[in-house]
Amino acid sequence: AQSVSQHNHHVILSEAASLELGCNYSYGGTVNLFWYVQYPGQHLQLLLKYFSGDPLVKGIKGFEAEFIKSKFSFNLRKPSVQWSDTAEYFCAVNGFSGGYNKLIFGAGTRLAVHP
Amino acid sequence: DAGVTQSPTHLIKTRGQQVTLRCSPKSGHDTVSWYQQALGQGPQFIFQYYEEEERQRGNFPDRFSGHQFPNYSSELNVNALLLGDSALYLCASSWGQDRGPQYFGPGTRLLVL
């Protein structure tokens, strides 16, 4: 079955620590990849997206993600997290067979950043 | 530029009742998708509307139905509510049916008692 896996359900970091959240998907065709963020009390916001071209994409607030096709992965990174990065992060994929613009989400990773 | 709006923000219903949720897409968008987000899980695709027709459907029963109006706004209807329908219902809008990013509204939190 087509799916998206996020390896860490909960991550706790101190400010200035580096962040890497894993995301893997199961599909061999052409995909578009997204990371969404949900800050406490707010709605889902697009953090960054990959459609084609340079596999290293940069998003808002200093986040970046790398698409590794051979590993079916799209990991999210940030060199130095801030307390304001506390949120839930969702990896999403579309492009599954017959699924134009149908997003498949991972279960999410809840990040807590301590001052 | 107004983003995606949804109403109501919260709703409490009892088993067996019917509910209608509403969504207005982001300005310039013509495609509306609905997702269900259960507690502790990622959003799950319910269906998508484009040109006033249901274009795609996820793994949800026929109790879930929808509609899109000429102004691109949309409704999600759920009949014969079950306790398991309690969730956050998210509306997302995008342009056309290509694979562009979707923009989400704040959601409607439905509690079924």
Nearest 5°: the CA angle A10, B85, B70 is 105
Helices (H), chain B: none
Contact of B5 with B23, CB cutoff 8 Å:
yes
- Phi/psi at B46 (5° precision): -100, -60
User: Which site among A24, A38, A43 would you substitute to test the B interface, given the most B Cβ atoms closer than 10 Å to its Cβ?
Assistant: A43
Query: Model confidence over A12-47: pLDDT tens digits?
Result: 999 999 999 999 998 767 788 999 999 998 999 999
CA B86 to CA B105: how far, in whole Å?
Answer: 18
Can you name the residues that pair with B7 across neighbouring β-strands?
A: B22
Helix (H, G, I), strand (E, B) or coil at A85: helix
Residue of A nearest to B96 (CA): A101
Nearest-angstrom CA–CA distance, B64 and B57:
10
Q: What is the pLDDT of residue B20?
A: 98
Per-residue pLDDT at B83: 97
Share of chain A above pLDDT 90, in %: 72
For chain B, residues with pLDDT lower than 50 are none
- Closest-CA residue in chain B for A46? B103
Tokens representing B61? 């029963």
Q: How far apart are CA A95 and CA A51, in angstroms?
A: 10
pLDDT, mean of residues A93-97: 71
Which percentage of chain A shows pLDDT scores above 70? 92
Is A29 an interface residue toward B (CB < 8 Å)? no
CA distance B52 to B70: 7
Mean per-residue pLDDT of chain A: 91
Q: What angle do CA A62, A67, A72 make, to 5 degrees?
A: 140
| A61 secondary structure, DSSP code | G
Pairing, β A73-78 against β A19-21: antiparallel
Which DSSP string corresponds to A2-39? --EEES-SEEEEETT--EEE-EEE---S--EEEEEEE-
pLDDT digits (tens, 9 = 90+) for B20-48: 999 999 999 999 999 999 988 999 999 99
**A-chain residues near B41 (CB < 8 A):** 107-108
| Tokens 């997290």 found at | A81
DSSP B52-93: TEEEEE-S--TTEEEEE-TTS-EEEEE-S--GGG-EEEEEEE
Asked whether the predicted pLDDT for residue A1 surpasses 70, the reply is no
- Averaged over A64-93, what is the pLDDT? 96
Is the pLDDT assigned to residue A58 strictly greater than 80? yes
